[in-house]
Amino acid sequence: MLELWRRVKNWYYHWYLNRRYPRVKERGLTRAKAKLGVGKGWHNLVDQVYDICDVYDIVVSDVKQKYAGLRVAWWWPEHAEDYEPDYDGVTQALLTLEDDSYRICEECGQAGEPVEVHGWWYTLCAACRERMEAEHDKKVDRIVASSG
C-alpha cells in the first residue's frame, strides 16, 4: 500500500509541477543546484540519484530534505518509450535511496537517525544533533538579550 501511495504522490507531484512550472521540464535541476537543497552528508546520495537518472535521461525537477528524509521529484522524458526503460527498477532504486537517507546524517554523512530538533525533523548523528541544538540555543539567547 505504501508503494502505491508513493507512486500516486509522485505522479501528482509531476502533474502539479508541469502545470505550475512548464518551463522547468525543459531543463530540469542540475546536480550542483540539487546539492544546495540538502546537507553535505547527503551529497553522495544526490550523486547516486543523478547517476541513475543520467542512464535513462530522466529529468530531475526537485531534490530536498523533508521530514528528515530525502525527497526527489523526477519524470521520464517524452522519448522514454523509444528505448523501453525499466520503469519499476528505476523507481525502486530511487525509492531505496530515499529510504537510505533516514539512516545517514544529512550534515556529516555518518550513521544517523530521524530526530526532532526544536520542532523540525532532521536525520542526524548524535554529534551533529548536539551542535545544532547548541546553535539554536545561542540564537534564542541572543534574541532574548536584544529584546530585553
* Confidence (pLDDT) at 147: 79
Query: Residue 97: which of 55, 50, 57, 60 has the closest Cα?
Result: 50
- pTM comes to 0.74
Poorest-confidence range of 55-59, 70-74, 110-114, 129-133? 55-59
Determine the distance from the C-alpha atom of residue 41 to the mean position of all C-alpha atoms in its chain, rounded to a whole number.
12
Alpha helices per DSSP H over 21-86: 24-27, 31-36, 43-56
d(CA 136, CA 79): 48
> CB count, 10 Å around CB of 76?
16
Confidence of residue 17 (pLDDT cuts 50, 70, 90): low
The ranges assigned to domains in the chain are: 2-147
> Over the stretch 35-87, which tens digit does the pLDDT of each residue have?
998 999 999 999 999 999 888 888 898 999 999 999 998 887 766 566 666 77
